[in-house]
Structure 1
Amino acid sequence: MGDAAFWAALLAKMLASAGIVVLASLAVERVGPLVGAMIATLPISAGPAYTFLALDHEADFLRESAVASLPAVAATALFIAAYAALARRRGVALSLGGALGVWIAAVLGLARIGGGLVGAGLLAVGVIVGCIMACRRWRTGGHVPARRKRASDILVRAGIVMALVVAVVLAGRLAGPGATGILALAPVVMVSLAVILHPRIGGAATATVLTLSLPGLLGFVAALSALALTVERFGPALALPLALLITLAWNGGILLANRLRPAPIPETAR
């Protein structure tokens, strides 16, 4: 495939990441933080990467890649928890810097634990559930203020995301295969959301959005596990859409359950 495949994959990832982050950020401001969080945890930005892997590698390579991605998903949960803790009191630069430091340390440490698909999957689920419990107090602590919308906002947001994607991918290619494996799984969507939303709606509200996305990561773990289990038997043409369908069903179920949940009774009515 050569360089043509690399640039095609980079362009696809830029466009997909920009689209999902812009859509998620608009949903946060117009529909609510939970909808934006569920959009952000769909694997649309990761989809092009796995598609081009499928074009260039055999099914066993995709299976190993899916298993190797599970620690990175767990590290993303720790990134969200660290950012949520910092963003309520600190600026975007310090909050993201600290959270990315946690992500790098976590992805390097968790990747060494091993355990195959079962071990990596259980570890990822345990870390995500732990982060959900630790961040419960921040799920409703940030009000999303109203802001005047401008047509140029969408272009600015898309530009921010695409610039981050290019920086991550090119840095990984120049730094060598080890760093590439780490940087390719960097939480670009979450970082992009923080860069866009933190200055616009404040750190507390942005922390709420990212915290609400934690349950969506469980769907991502399920999708990667399904991909690892099915890609060699059924091939990428069926396994990849199945993984996407799992995340859509999981996040849709979260939204549906939230709509059906009874409203809390006010204290004055008790």
Structure 2
Amino acid sequence: MDISKPFSEFQAKQGGFWASMALLFMALFVATVVAVLGLLVLRQINPQAPTYYSILFGVLALIVVLQYIAKRYSWIMPWYYLLPAILFLFSFTFIPVILTIVLAFTDYAGIRNGQLNVSSSTNIVSVDGNKLVLDNPKTLSCNLLMGKRKGCNNVKAVVYASGRFETKGVSLDGKQLTLETAPPTDRKITAVEITMPSMGFSAQFPVSSIAGKVISLEKTPPEADLEHIVLSLDRLPIERKIIKLENDTVTLDEALPDGLEYVAIARYNAF
């Protein structure tokens, strides 16, 4: 190849910079549309489908579109080497800059990101249908959500059921503890709190397996007060919406199920 020739002789006879860029951006646009539509259709079938499935749809669509363009416009093939650079440029330069500019003119912040705010967890004193009396309503920090929602009004929340189950033991044979009452089958038991009278304190022993009323512990307790056995359960979360907060009383959109002891409520960061 004679590199002394003018640059114009090395350029493609058809197409050009702008035509090539237009085709590449069209391929990216089509792939993006297919990715979004594919995810929407998939979530109609499975609402819990993860978002990263859209990447798979987009990549497959991009391959098909690029193959079609290459067959239709053979002169564009050298420009395909720029495609990874264009993707990285958009992903790490243009999109972050545009997103920063857009967010700069909103009130978006961590307090309004739509995620569950664990630090707002507040103890519940009593429950009456869909009304909860709170120990300290200030912990919900509803004043930080002032705006169109007027604090915690119409904000999603999670009510937690008790994480303790008190019962009595029948016998303790090594690592096997037999209970008087079978523990809840719909809750996960993480540990058993056993009081050791001669030592004067209680200790928690991890659970290895459960079979009805018989619990197998990972370690052998030296002794046990079978009159007072406490099972540590995972806290059962129940999602509700806060209709309003008046003084220390929260009104929910629905009453809570009966038969559970509710201990705390936490709100979402509303946006």
Q: With structure 1 as the length reference, what TM-score do the two structures score? A: 0.24
Larger radius of gyration: 2
**Richer in helix (by share):** 1
Higher relative contact order, structure no. (Cα contacts within 8 Å, ≥ 6 residues apart)? 1
Q: With structure 2 as the length reference, what TM-score do the two structures score? A: 0.24
